[in-house]
Structures are given as C-alpha cells and as structure tokens.
Structure 1
Amino acid sequence: MGRRVVITGIGVVAPGGVGTKGFWDLLSCGRTATRTITSFDASPFRSRVAAEVDFDPQAHGLSPQEVRRMDRAAQFAVVTTAEAWADSGLAMGDVDPHRTGVTVGSGVGATMALDREYGVVSDGGRLELVDHRYAVPHLYDYFVPSSFASEVAWKVGAEGPVAVVSTGCTSGLDSVGYATELIREGSADVMFAGAAAAPISPITVACFDAIKATTPRNDDPAHASRPFDRTRNGFVLGEGAAMFVLEERERAMRRGACVHAEIAGFATRCNAFHMTGLRPDGLEMAEAIRWAMGEARVNPEDVDYINAHGSGTKQNDRHETAAFKASLGAHAYRAPVSSIKSMVGHSLGAIGSLEIAASVLAIENNVVPPTANLHEPDPECDLDYVPVHAREQRVDTVLSVGSGFGGFQSAMVLRRAA
C-alpha cells in the first residue's frame, strides 16, 4: 500500500441539521427530515415531497455578494468546507498551497440558479428567444459546475489539483475516492474533498416524475422514504453537502491532528448496461466492493456495518442486496445494513459524501444509524437493515456504497484510525 490517507476534518449541511452535530443527532435518533416541498409550488407535480435544508447563508458567514454570486449548492460547499477546515485544526501556515487540492462532487450542477435565471431571461417561459439583458453577471458560473471547486479553492487558498467529479449519484463517493488517490500517489498532501447538491427545483422534480423514480406518497411526507420496505415506491429528493479534510497519515500524526477515520479502500465500476436500469445480480457493485476490500486488506468478516445506497426504489434495493451477498458471502447476513436516505432523502451527487460522514460518525460513536420507516420488510431484501431504531455496537470498519444513473457503482472502506 502507498501513502495512507485519513480524514481530519468534517463539515455537513443536511436536511434537519446544519453542522456535523445536528446531522448526527438526526441520524442517531432516527428522525426524518422529509416534508412537502416549500421552495416552490409543487402542486402540479406527481411527487411533491423532498428533504429540504433550512439554510440561512448569511448566518453561516457568507456575505451578500457571495450569496448573489454562488448557487445554493456552491454555498453549501463553501460553508461545509469552513466547518471541515475548522474541525481539522489546520492553520494557513500548515499548508503548502501547491500541495493542497480540492475535489467537489456534483451530479446536476447549479440547478436552482439556472432554473431561476431561465425564468427571468425567458420572461417566465413566454419568450422563445431569451433576452440576455436580464441575465445576472454570474450566469456563466451557474452554467459550469467547475465554479463549485473554484469557490472552495479560493476559500482555502488551494493551488494544487482542483477538479469537479460528476458521476451522477456516486459523485460524492468518487470525489473523495479521487482525492484519496491524489494523496496516495504523492500529487497532494492535503485535499478538501466532498460534494454538494441543491437540486430541489421544478426541472429536477419534472425529470424524475417523467420516469416515476420518486415517490408519489405525498400524503405522508415524513414516512415517504422507505428503503428495503415492501411498500416502497420511489425515492425522496434531497439536498445538502459534506466536505472533508483529507491528509497523508504521517503528516497528520506529526502535527497532532485528531483523526476521525482512515480511508482504507476505494473502487468504482460501471455496468455499461442502461442509463437508469440495473442488472438484478448486482455483479458490478459486488466487483467494486471486492476491489475496495482488497485495497483495504480486509475480509468480509471484518465489515462491522454497511452504509447502503438504499434509495427506496424497487430495483435498487434488490440489486444492492444481491451485491452484498455476492461480495460478502455468508457475512452479508450478519453485518448490519442501513440507509440514511430514509431520513435525509436522496441528494443525488452529494449523498455519497453525506454517507461517508455518517459512516465516520458511526465509527466514532459506535452506533449504527437506522433505516427509518422500515416496518414491512421486502422478502427479497432479507438482510439485517436495522429498522427504525439506531443500534449501539462496536464499529471499526464500514463499507459505504453508491449506485448512480449511467451504471456507476462505487464502494469505499473506512476504518477506525490506528
């Protein structure tokens, strides 16, 4: 194994809890943050529920100019970066700018700002040829997701590798995985890595309505997200962000950093099969899991908790269950599995990073967060999905996985720092 990579800082903006503490309080209590959409009039749509973040950017340190310049997702990224940076204890003088980088995962870019500005330049959709004179000066920043990474790099003074990773719903895992590889290969010593998403807008809701991927359970928003439950009928859209400070382990040890966890293994695969469909055998996800465990040098029996993708769609939950069985064998029936999407919804490109944060906090607190709203198990999903209530147990090694449209399948192994 090359250079080892550890997490020394965590920052979170999530539905039901801005900040890492609020996020963990929600998860460990099994509370749901899903509700009827409030950010726009969703009455014309099939699915009208989401997990929204109650977020005041100026209360979290952003200036009015920054708020005007940045899309909501970019605001999430900058605020979570500030929390992660403070948590890491890194001082500006501790970091060589040329050895410091940024990777930000984004599935759908600046959706909210683009949606809003199109309404302005098209006069509410009435103009076939839009009038550019009404566009905000920062419209280009909304158009290119790379602005997210640029904003974070400017915030922390990073002059090393800076990139956006966009692989759909695995972006949050893949962004951190890519940052890990940059440190391992020696291209950077410190990386600010994670993902942000603010997709709750009419265009996004319409897109998922069209393919019936989101739940129509509008009469009971708090219980609408039901991963692995027999009555599940689609996912609940969410938003949020998580950013991390990653460091080369020996460097972190020398400066006396508090290490949250080690990123021991990462792998990603693609099924090259269908834009939205999944093979029922889950073999590509299983392959990613095997490679990640191989890189981490752990056996199936070493996995104490599986943080599932668990979107709450019929095909995903069955596909994922099959992948766990194929990769972990008999241990798949013994390892607790749960989906935090039951509580914070599915924030598309950001969710993988939020799930990494949940996995690290599970290790630190020796608590497995629950799968909320799981009351009627699907017979085809026959593993231990930790229904309704969190479980106290020793957690040293966590497997976190993601599955994304386009066939992306990713897996990461996180381990208690030694």
Structure 2
Amino acid sequence: MREARRVVITGIGVVAPGGISRKQFWDLLTAGRTATRTISLFDATPFRSRVAAECDFDPIVAGLSRRQIRQWDRTTQFAMVAGKEAIADSGISGQSDPHRTGVMVGTACGSTMSLDSEYALVSDEGKSWLVDEFHGSPYLYDYFTPSSMAAELAWTAEAEGPVGIVSTGCTSGLDVVGHAVDLIRDGEADVMVAGASDAAISPITVACFDAIKATTARNDSPETASRPFDRTRNGFVLGEGSAIFVLEELEHARRRDAHIYAEVSGHASRCNAFSMTGLRDDGMEMADAITAALGEARFNPAEIDYVNAHGSATKQNDRHETAAFKRSLGDHAYRAPISSIKSMIGHSLGAICALELAACALTIENSVIPPTANLHEPDPECDLDYVPIVAREAQVDTVLSVASGFGGFQSAIVLNKPERRRTV
C-alpha cells in the first residue's frame, strides 16, 4: 500500500494576550506570566464575571490600513495579522502553485464584536424591536458569514485551492488543522494556510457564560483567576486571539529547504451525544479521540513526551480530562508532563486550540514545556504531573494536544519531529 503523504508545519503566526507575535507569545508562556486582567474593552460592571485575557492589539501598528480596520471585524484582523506572520515565517510566497494552495480558518463565534455593536446601533441600544437597517455598516454581510474571513486570508496567501471554515465550538482550532492536513494527505493541496481566530470579549458573550456560571467570578484577583487543576478553581477566563500555520506536504517542504517545526501525524474527533455542556466523569469520549489520534500517528502512549491539556479550570472539565488521560495513556499518564496554557492566556473559544497547537510546536522546537500558572493547591482528583508554576526544560519529540467543546465535541492531535515517525 502506498504511504500516505506526510504533513509538516513550516510557518507559525500568533496574535495572543500578552504577545502580538510568535516570539512574544512564547516568551510569555515560558516565563509563566499571566495576561488575564479586568475587562477593558467595554464596561463589564453589570456582569458576574469581569475578567478576561485581552490582546493589546493596535491594528495600525500591526500594519493594517484604515480601510481594512473599517471593513474587518477584530476576529478577521487577528487572523490576517497572524496569517501574514505565518506566511513570512514559512517563506512560502512565490514557491507554491496557487491552485495547489488552500486556506482553512476555524472560529467558534465569527464576527461577534461587530455584530454586537451593529445590533446596538440599528436597534438604538436594543430599544427598537423594528431595527433601522440604514444605520448598519455596509460590511454587515461579511460579519454574518464567517467564510468572508477565509476569503480575505486566501487573497493574501494567493490561494486558489480549497478554502473554507470549520466551526466546531472550542475544538475548532484543532479540527481545522486536522481538516487541512487531510486535504494535503488526500492530494487536494500541497500547501494549506490554516488556523483559527476568535475575538468574542463582548457583552453578549460575557452574558451567555455568566448565565451558566462557566466563567470565574474571581474579579478581585484577575491575574490569578485562571487556575486549571487547582483545588480552588471556579471557572474559566474568557480570552481572544489567533494562531495561523503554514502546513506543507513533507517533500514539498524539503525541496525548498523549509524550516520544519513539527509533523502533524494524527488527528481524531468524537462527540459524546450526551449533553450540550455536560461531561461524563469517565472521560470516555476524549480518551477515544486520543486513542484514535495515536493510532493514526502510529505512536504508543508511552512515546508521548508532553501533553497539552484543554485545562479550562472548570471543576467538571479538569476531572473529565484527568480521567481521559488515565483511560487512554494508562500508567504513562502518571509520567507524562501535562500543562494548560489557558492559565496564562485564558480561553479564546475557537481560537485557543490553535494557540495551544502553536505552543506545542514551539515546545518541540525549543525543548521547553510551558507551565500551568496559578497551580498552588493541586486538586486531589487531578493527580497527574501538571507542571505547576515554572516552565520545565525537557527533550520533547512527540506531543499530544486535546480539546473539549460545547456540544460534546472532543478532539486530539499529535505532533512530532518528522524523524520520530514510524512510516511502516
């Protein structure tokens, strides 16, 4: 049987809380600094949870024109800036066939901020049931259709191959990369610009999470509010950001002597068909996704050098995830270092798993494992090695990253140094 085409990461671009570049992002993570703070993007006084991890993003400084700023929602702005960094990092411009180059973007919420503000405008702050459309932005159509974000990035990348959107809630950032990898493996493209973006720190989003008490109410200590796997955790911190990758067929990358961060060797997704927001304690669905991803990647559980956890800092998720690791990795779950970067940059919904994937690739590149910040009192029910407080130097050749999302979605992905992969 012919060996499947292999796919590698050759470019990374990041817009994140605490860092508007790949380097700043990595510096924040390895220093164990937190970027969570009191919400400043709007007046959050009426809300239960008033903390978030915001990006200190100046679109002019980031190189966007005033026309682009007017046209693009903050989510699209993030994706475009991260995408340009990834393309420049890869050196792919002019070295790929446009018809063999595609774009896939993941998002959970699309243009939430623009839709929120535009609705307030046309409805006179919600006072009018019959809205006046003449006061709306001429770009409202783009805000309503997230595919416009992928189209904008495709024009920048000169991509005339497969272009689309993946929206599977909080697993979007993993699933979109998995889908892009499949397109390359199947011969539909040689290069894919793929990743995720979300900027949803808005009144409507905060109100929705307030209603189900999923976010933390630790408003008096925003810097330490996100506490994955800690006994005192009480909910996640909302975030925002984007990570975009250049993915290439391995031989295509080698022919142009591209720098390779890591190979994407396995991906799987499952749905628990159980609850929109609930998770079963046994972690079965996430464990099944992990086992399937490892099988596709041809790695045994004991070969995983680091696990990037979903680690949302909700009581339910952290217990569920701990059980999933034990079920899928066996005894190795107690030996593998595990951490959650949401402790430092919050939970940016559809974008977070792409940001976590960027952290995984940089972990392989630099042999440093980011810590779980604010983990001072480990929960006895979360009794694995969650790398508390301080980054850890270690040889890391193979990484597992996992994600869990509303709707029952559970996803897992495996990255590795290409030389570590068994191909037969």
**Do both proteins adopt the same fold according to a TM-score greater than 0.5, normalized to the shorter chain?**
yes
Query: Is 2:183 the partner of 1:154?
Result: no
* Inter-partner Cα distance in structure 1 for 2:365 and 2:99: 32
Per the alignment, residue 200 of structure 2 pairs with 199
- Equivalent in 79, 85, 106 of residue 87 of structure 2: 85
* Inter-partner Cα distance in structure 2 for 1:294 and 1:126: 55
3-state SS of the aligned residue for 1:192?
Answer: strand
1:380, CA displacement in angstroms? 0.4
Give the ranges of 4+ consecutive aligned residues of structure 1 lying more than 3 Å apart after TM superposition: none
Per the alignment, residue 32 of structure 1 pairs with 34
Q: Give TM-score, length-normalised by structure 2.
A: 0.98
The one-character-per-residue Cα deviations of 1:238-284 (angstroms, maximum 9, x if unpaired) are 00000000000001001100001000111111101100000111111
* Inter-partner Cα distance in structure 2 for 1:217 and 1:114: 28
Structure 2: state its 5+ residue gaps. Answer: 420-424
Task: Give yes or no for contact 1:260–1:417 (8 Å, CA) kept in 2.
Answer: no
Per the alignment, residue 233 of structure 2 pairs with 232
3-state SS of the aligned residue for 1:361?
Answer: helix
Per the alignment, residue 58 of structure 1 pairs with 60
Per the alignment, residue 322 of structure 2 pairs with 321
Matches within 5 A, 1:239-278: 239-278=240-279
* Inter-partner Cα distance in structure 2 for 1:243 and 1:236: 22
Task: Give yes or no for contact 2:93–2:157 (8 Å, CA) kept in 1.
Answer: no
Q: Quick check: 120-129 or 350-359, which moved more?
A: 120-129
Query: Is 2:42 the partner of 1:45?
Result: no
Aligned residue identity for 1:60: A
3-state SS of the aligned residue for 1:159?
Answer: coil
* Inter-partner Cα distance in structure 1 for 2:80 and 2:240: 15
* Inter-partner Cα distance in structure 2 for 1:113 and 1:91: 31
- Quote the RMSD (CA, aligned, Å): 0.6
3-state SS of the aligned residue for 1:18?
Answer: coil
Aligned residue identity for 1:288: A
1:417, CA displacement in angstroms? 3.1
* Inter-partner Cα distance in structure 2 for 1:414 and 1:207: 34
Per the alignment, residue 5 of structure 2 pairs with 3
Task: Give yes or no for contact 1:308–1:338 (8 Å, CA) kept in 2.
Answer: yes
Per the alignment, residue 71 of structure 1 pairs with 73
Task: Give yes or no for contact 1:104–1:148 (8 Å, CA) kept in 2.
Answer: yes
Query: Is 2:406 the partner of 1:405?
Result: yes
Aligned residue identity for 1:152: L
Per the alignment, residue 354 of structure 1 pairs with 355
The one-character-per-residue Cα deviations of 1:76-128 (angstroms, maximum 9, x if unpaired) are 00100100000001122x12111111110000110000001111101111111
Number of residues of Structure 1 aligned to a counterpart in Structure 2: 417
* Inter-partner Cα distance in structure 1 for 2:261 and 2:329: 25
Structure 1: state its 5+ residue gaps. Answer: none
Task: Give yes or no for contact 1:33–1:343 (8 Å, CA) kept in 2.
Answer: yes
1:198, CA displacement in angstroms? 0.1
Per the alignment, residue 284 of structure 1 pairs with 285
Identity among equivalent pairs (%): 71
* Inter-partner Cα distance in structure 1 for 2:148 and 2:36: 29
Aligned residue identity for 1:377: P
* Inter-partner Cα distance in structure 2 for 1:256 and 1:162: 26
* Inter-partner Cα distance in structure 2 for 1:251 and 1:205: 44
3-state SS of the aligned residue for 2:61?
Answer: helix
Q: Give TM-score, length-normalised by structure 1.
A: 0.99
